[in-house]
Amino acid sequence: MKQLILIRYGELGLKGKNKNKFIERLVENIDGACNDIAGFSVRSTWGRIWVEVDAAAYPQAVARLRRVFGIYSLSPVVSVPRDMQAIQQAAYEVLRKCLPQGGGFKVETRRADKTFPMTSPEISRAVANDLFHRLDDNYWADMHDPPFTLQIEIRGEGNFVYGETVHGAGGLPVGCGGKAALMLSGGIDSPVAGWMALKRGVSVEGIHFYSFPFTGEQSKQKVMDLAHILAGWQGAPFTLHVVHFTEIQKAIHQFCREDYGITLMRRMMFRLAERIAKQNRCLALYTGESVGQVASQTLESMSVINEVTNMPVLRPLIGMDKEEIMAIAKKIGTYDTSILPYEDCCTIFLPKYPKIRPRLQEAKEMEQALDIEALLAEALAKTETLTIE
């Protein structure tokens, strides 16, 4: 037996060519997420996307579809012949399944096939009458604020009865918004920032700065585990660039004033990220920064750090509190990995009193002691690119 699933997508603001590209991409991504499921097929007709799977594989299909961005909601649908008795029988079965204990409900009909001999209100009324005839007093009509709506659709290509609606991840299909580079640490914030990029349809490659031997194999593995989780949301392998950052950190520590350590380190990170992004045709950088969270995230710090790049730096968590970010991390499955103990390159050579309001002029003067080009070239030469499934 097969189970048909109706996929709804947000089409607000989508027109003409854009809309077709959006739908094609969504169908491709659904196919990528589900094509190993038994009996799977997907097609789009008349502004709808339909998925079909073997009935036994329905829960597995729903779990996968809930991670595909661009899907707002989905419903398991019963397909019936063009016949009132069959529609009424299906309506009864769907209602009993969705509301086994009873409750208030409403029947709603949409009739696109105008050759069907009854109007939409007539169909709704006939189905409701038949239901009340069969059901006990635990069921009642609720026309104003129904907790449950039974939907009937009479369309040229088929006739459908459904009720249950499962929420999707929303957003836009991954890949329809170009590609960006995510600065991915092992912390809580940056994986959430990456997820938010994906949610808006932007594909992501990760850049991780790694200070071996100060930060060990385990902290690298942790970032790879986070990349694996993001690959699941991306619906495609995740490219991770691991940049060897040790020499840069040592040079800053050795030649520059301690309180500017973080500012200068982060300026180097942005320089490297911009170059790697450009080499890989990424159009923007994403970070997990949020105003005021730490010394390097004051407006003064961010503006001095940002000065080294002309690329757009997108910070989707900018206005969020840590609690809100943690709630998303839990929801998307990165939290448990992010809180594992680890050393980040940011936590070594940590100044006792980091400069909270650095000045650009001072930062530039201190950088005179560094051979920036040579340091960048060496770090780039040692960058390792991994593909994480």
Nearest to 109 by CA among 99, 98, 123: 123
Q: Is residue 296 a contact point for ligand ATP (CB under 6 A)?
A: yes
290 binds Mg ion (CB under 5 A): no
108-141 residues labelled b (16+ CB within 10 A) or e (exposed): bbebeeeebeeebeebbebbbebbeeebeeebee
Token readout for 227 is 């990349």
Q: Which of 293, 298, 306, 309 binds ligand ATP (CB under 6 A)?
A: 293
Q: Give the integer Cα–Cα distance in Å for 293 and 175.
A: 31
185 is a contact residue toward Mg ion (CB under 5 A): yes
The CA distance from 195 to 387, in Å, is 18
346 binds ligand ATP (CB under 6 A): yes
190 binds ligand ATP (CB under 6 A): yes
Query: In the structure encoding, which two tokens stand for residue 208, read together?
Result: 């991780």
208 binds ligand ATP (CB under 6 A): yes
> What is the C-alpha separation between 70 and 86, in angstroms, rounded?
33
Helices marked H in 203-321 — which ranges?
217-234, 246-255, 261-279, 299-306
Q: Which member of 261, 288, 316, 358 binds ligand ATP (CB under 6 A)? A: 288
Nearer to ligand ATP, 124 or 203 (CB): 203
Q: Which stretch binds ligand ATP (CB under 6 A): 136-144, 145-153, 163-171, 185-193?
A: 185-193
Q: Is 287 in the site for ligand ATP (CB under 6 A)?
A: yes
Listed ranges 26-34, 110-118, 183-191, 376-384: which one lies at the site for ligand ATP (CB under 6 A): 183-191
Looking at beta carbons only, is 162 or 342 nearer to Mg ion?
Answer: 342
For residue 130, what are the β-bridge partners? none
194 binds Mg ion (CB under 5 A): no
CB-nearer residue toward ligand ATP: 111 or 355: 355
| Partner in contact with 42, chosen from Mg ion, ligand ATP, none, beta carbon below 5 to 8 Å by kind | none
The H or E element spanning position 53 is strand 48-54
Binding site for ligand ATP (CB under 6 A): 183-185, 187-190, 207-209, 287-289, 293-294, 296-297, 344-346
